[in-house]
Structure 1
Amino acid sequence: MDGLFSDQPVIEPVSEAELPARETSVSVPVPPEQAFKAFTDLIHLWWPLAEYSAFGAESHLGFEQQSLLEESAAGERYLWGTVLEWQPSASVLLDFFLGGDPARPTRLRADFEPDDGGSRVRLVQDGWAAGQAGASQYEKYSDWPFILGRYVRFMGG
């Protein structure tokens, strides 16, 4: 009975199959303690705010009171995510919704491990919403290699 009501839009079903995690790993030439500190405390120095922010390149990004916040030059604040776990020198886990619906966060985890005199930083994002919302999240969060490339350059890699 397809096409019975030809004036009705065709709605393509969205697969309910779970979308895979996005995973990116990089190496930096410092121990995990320094890698973690630079990733968290100095995120405002390496994050590409010109490309990925709510307020643009002149804003400031940082972790504050269990939150990852962006602040505009005018003092406006935008919540990017909430910290679920914070293990200095080892890992940080966030409910992450940069530019998305806070009611539908993804999970973003960064792990820091010793690696041949430096550190391996492994970032995994998963926990996509179901249906079209999850497909949109998955498509949106595809630039981790570029973003972590900025972190590697900042760290001297």
Structure 2
Amino acid sequence: MVWSIALIQFLPVRLGSKLAQVIKTIVVPCSREKAFVVFVDEIDTWWPLGKRSVSAMKGGVAKSVSIDKRPGGRIVEIGHDSMAHLWGTVISYDPFDSLTMDFHIGLLKPATASVVSVRFTALGADRTRVVLTHSTWEAYGDLAGDMRGGYGSSWGMIFEEGYMQACGG
């Protein structure tokens, strides 16, 4: 959707973004539709809930994480203690094409969220390019550089390994 692309391009300018975006690109061995469904509907099958969650930071393993598939929908972890932890909010949702969300994994106030955008491009019947862009680090204030560095390396494990495997790669 044109509006979604315009919003993604506008957000870093509006927030005065100076730190480079984290961009991860992979090609998965499945259709665009399946790649999208695995990312959105099956996130708790590939996300490392025992390592990268609010529960993990408290020494537990989260029970699940889910995405409410609509603009304004919430990304929520159900913790090891059955408590709900907000990870972010869906900004735009275009089935099989893109998902954009603010993102903060419950540690910081939602006002300090960064932005994650994921785009899905079919390269054939059983190959899809998936591009994940994580931006607007300045929302984290003095922690911006550390947050960018941490997520930059974490997305390698989470996206390039866990998600890729869940898609059959």
TM-score (normalizing by structure 1): 0.83
Q: Give ranges in structure 2 of 5+ residues lacking alignment.
A: 1-15
Is the 8 Å Cα contact of residues 27 and 119 (structure 1) preserved in structure 2? yes
Aligned to 1:134: 144
Greater mean deviation of Cα atoms: 18-27 or 137-146 = 137-146
Aligned to 1:13: none
Q: 3-state SS of the aligned residue for 1:39? A: helix
Query: Structure 1: which 4+ aligned runs deviate by more than 3 Å?
Result: none
Aligned to 2:83: 76
- The structure with the greater share of residues assigned to helix is 2
Counterpart of 2:30 in structure 1: which amino acid?
A: V
Q: Distance in 1 between matches of 2:116 and 2:81?
A: 28
Q: 3-state SS of the aligned residue for 1:151? A: helix
Aligned to 1:34: 34
Q: Distance in 2 between matches of 1:100 and 1:132?
A: 13
Provide the identity percentage: 27
Q: Distance in 2 between matches of 1:17 and 1:153?
A: 32
Aligned to 2:120: 112
Aligned to 1:151: 163
Is the 8 Å Cα contact of residues 34 and 167 (structure 2) preserved in structure 1? no
The one-character-per-residue Cα deviations of 1:114-151 (angstroms, maximum 9, x if unpaired) are 12431111000011116523223212312111101111
Is the 8 Å Cα contact of residues 17 and 136 (structure 2) preserved in structure 1? no
Is the 8 Å Cα contact of residues 82 and 94 (structure 1) preserved in structure 2? yes
Q: Distance in 2 between matches of 1:138 and 1:34?
A: 29
Is the 8 Å Cα contact of residues 129 and 137 (structure 1) preserved in structure 2? no
Distance change >3 Å, CA 94–CA 58, structure 1 → 2: closer
C-alpha displacement at 1:155, in angstroms? 1.4
Q: CA RMSD in A?
A: 1.8
Q: Distance in 1 between matches of 2:26 and 2:108?
A: 26
1:94 aligned onto 2:101? yes
Q: 3-state SS of the aligned residue for 1:132? A: helix
Q: 3-state SS of the aligned residue for 2:88? A: strand
C-alpha displacement at 1:58, in angstroms? 4.1
C-alpha displacement at 1:75, in angstroms? 2.1
Aligned to 2:65: 61
TM-score (normalizing by structure 2): 0.77
Q: Give ranges in structure 1 of 5+ residues lacking alignment.
A: 1-15
Aligned to 1:121: 130
Greater mean deviation of Cα atoms: 100-109 or 58-67 = 58-67
Is the 8 Å Cα contact of residues 93 and 107 (structure 1) preserved in structure 2? yes
Is the 8 Å Cα contact of residues 111 and 121 (structure 1) preserved in structure 2? yes
Is the 8 Å Cα contact of residues 48 and 158 (structure 2) preserved in structure 1? yes
Counterpart of 2:167 in structure 1: which amino acid?
A: M
Q: Distance in 2 between matches of 1:55 and 1:47?
A: 13
> What is the aligned length?
142
